[in-house]
């Protein structure tokens, strides 16, 4: 038996697919069900999937297929088979890459390339990446805010692909978590027992911190830029 929220979500997905041919985004589902976080939507979808009502399509970000409906579900148009979410503005369309083997990376939030900002977690957001951009290891994606890394070719609005590591060589561009709450993208150096986070823009001064205040959460692997 489904909960009321699960039934409401199933109806919403069905109606959106019937109307536009694509499944709603996590944000749209969250707003429709008046939930405070996308983690609630994730749990509802997992419950529907476990009960055989929906299916996640492989190699596509947030792609859902409605398989069946419970008895008593409000009437509506049947969904189109194998409907899936269209790529968002944050997803890649590569004319040389058809996307059949795309790797979906978590788009975990925004990273400051300037004054550090609080790390923003966007549970449920993903990004399709051609595997040619990735190597061995675990990766995630971040949106860049700020201009402190422009001399390294990293601009405001870019998306950076980060390989998860906790130690790097001096001079690497890293995601550094400061005091457990602020995330920033900078070059890292160790000098005289301190950690130095340096910008690639003369307008920004280096930040010099004690090692216990800095946690490396990954190293820059590649960059994606969208032109509008």
Residues forming the active site: 148, 186
Helix/strand/coil (H/E/C) assignment for every residue in the chain = CCCHHHHHHHHHHHHHHHHHCCCCCHHHHHHHCCCCCHHHHHHHHHHHHHCCCEEECCCCCCCEEECCCCCCCCCCCCCCCCCCCCCCCCCCCECCECCCCCEEEEEEEEEECCCCEECCCCCCCEEEECHHHCCCCCEEEEEEECCCCHHHCCCCCCEEEEECCCCCCCCCEEEEEECCCEEEEEEEEEECCEEEEECCCCCCCCEEECHHHEEEEEEEEEEECCCC
Whether the CB-CB separation of 17 and 23 falls below 8 Å is answered with yes
Residue 139: how many other CB atoms lie within 10 Å: 19
Structure token digits, residue 17: 């697919």
Structure token digits, residue 113: 């390339």
Report the C-alpha gap between 198 and 114 in whole angstroms. 10
């Amino acid at each position: 038996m489904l909960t009321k929220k699960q039934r409401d979500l199933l109806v919403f997905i069905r109606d959106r697919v019937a109307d536009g041919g694509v499944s709603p985004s996590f944000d749209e589902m969250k707003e429709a069900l008046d939930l405070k976080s996308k983690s609630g939507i994730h749990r509802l979808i997992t419950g529907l999937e476990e009960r055989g009502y929906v299916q996640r399509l492989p190699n596509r970000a947030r792609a859902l297929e409605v398989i069946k409906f419970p008895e008593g579900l409000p009437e509506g148009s049947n969904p189109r088979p194998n409907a899936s979410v269209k790529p968002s503005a944050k997803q890649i369309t590569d004319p040389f890459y058809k996307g059949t083997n795309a790797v979906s990376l978590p788009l975990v939030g925004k990273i400051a390339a300037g004054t550090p900002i609080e790390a923003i977690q966007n549970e449920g957001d993903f990004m399709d990446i051609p595997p040619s951009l990735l190597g061995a290891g675990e990766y995630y994606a971040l949106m860049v805010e700020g201009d402190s890394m422009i001399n390294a070719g990293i601009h405001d609005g870019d998306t950076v692909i980060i390989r998860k590591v906790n130690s790097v060589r001096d001079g690497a561009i890293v995601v550094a978590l400061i005091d457990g709450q602020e995330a920033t993208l900078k070059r890292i150096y160790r000098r005289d027992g301190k950690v130095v986070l340096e910008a690639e823009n003369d307008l920004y001064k280096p930040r010099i911190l004690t090692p216990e205040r800095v946690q490396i959460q990954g190293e820059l692997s590649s960059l994606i830029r969208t032109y509008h």
